[in-house]
Amino acid sequence: MANQFNFIAIEGVIGAGKTTLAELLAENRKARLIREQFEENPFLPRFYEDRQRYAFQTQLAFLSSRFKQQQNMLSRDLFHDFIISDYLFEKDRIFARLNLDDDELALYDTIYQIMTGIAAKPDLVIFLQSNVERLKKNIENRGRDYEKHITEDYLKELNDAYNHFFYHYNKSPLIIINASETDFVKNPVHLSYIEEQIFDKPIRSNTHIHIIPD
């Protein structure tokens, strides 16, 4: 079956493996890879040390960076058939609702509503659903200094917010992968199974598919 997508967005909580899966799929399928530029956000390390003080600056920096990337996605790429991104633009508001106070959120929403109407819309969204234990283990294994300040309580907040968001998500076809039980890095069978579900089977609009490989 020919590739049925122009743009696939992969999502999940911090540590779910979205960038890794995006890289693997982009390499195997010769897609243009768009990575979230979190390392360029100067406020992120300070945010994890003091959420209340640096949430608004961190949020606006991410919103601006993500929007610029969305605009670049609209340009034609002669060397790749389609795009895979390791984030969904709309997820930005998940963090905003968790971390901003009412006045900050109102200002943020004014800017966000303008940008979200112009942002690229994916043909397929993949949500890596995980549990807090697995997320925490993955974060510890990759050893980023500033992520040492992420608390288990914050991970649980994020995980609950992501689950709620994608339970109600219906703007693009959605595949949900059980990332707690799936190892697409070390187990090639799992990765092949995921690729088969994405690229070799028709995805109907607004259908949630849970992928749990044997």
- For the segment 144-202, what is each residue's pLDDT rounded down to a tens digit? 888 888 899 999 999 999 999 999 998 899 999 988 888 898 899 999 999 988 888 77
Report if residue 107 sits inside a domain: yes
Residue of 50, 77, 86, 92 marked catalytic: 86
Asked if residue 1 belongs to a domain, the reply is no
- Which of 140, 91, 99 is CA-nearest to residue 119? 91
Q: Has residue 5 got a pLDDT over 60?
A: yes
β-bridge pairing 32-34 and 174-178: unpaired
- Report if residue 126 sits inside a domain: yes
pLDDT band at residue 69 under the 50/70/90 scheme:
confident
The DSSP result for 130-149, as a single string, is --HHHHHHHHHHHT-GGGGG
Q: Kindly state whether residue 56 falls inside one of the protein's structural domains.
A: yes
Cβ proximity of 130 and 16 under 8 Å: yes
2 part of a folded domain: no
Question: Among candidates 93, 103, 32, 106, which has minimal Cα distance to 62?
Answer: 93
Is residue 62 left, alpha or beta, with left meaning phi > 0 and alpha meaning psi from -120 to 50? alpha
At 100-120, the pLDDT tens digits run 999 999 999 999 998 888 888
Conformation bin of residue 86: beta by default, left when phi > 0, alpha when psi is -120 to 50 = alpha
In a domain, 102, yes or no: yes
Q: Are 54 and 43 in contact (CB under 8 A)?
A: yes
Half-sphere exposure of 7 (CA within 13 A, CB side): 18
Three-point CA angle 86, 92, 97, nearest 5°:
145
How far apart (Å, rounded) are the C-alpha atoms in residues 149 and 54?
14
DSSP state for residue 189 in the 8-state scheme: H
Query: Position 120: which residue type?
Result: A
Identify the weakest region by mean pLDDT among 2-6, 66-70, 120-124, 171-175. 2-6
Active site residue 50: no
Rounded Cα gap, residues 117 and 26, in angstroms: 26
Instruction: Check which CATH number belongs to the domain holding 39 and give it.
Output: 3.40.50.300
Number of Cβ atoms within 10 Å of the Cβ of 61: 19
Give phi and psi for 112, each to the nearest 5. Answer: -60, -40
Q: Which domain holds residue 136?
A: 7-211
The number of folded domains in the chain is 1
Spell out the alpha helix ranges (H) of the chain: 18-29, 44-49, 51-73, 92-99, 102-116, 132-142, 152-167, 188-199
Domain membership flag for residue 105: yes
In a domain, 31, yes or no: yes
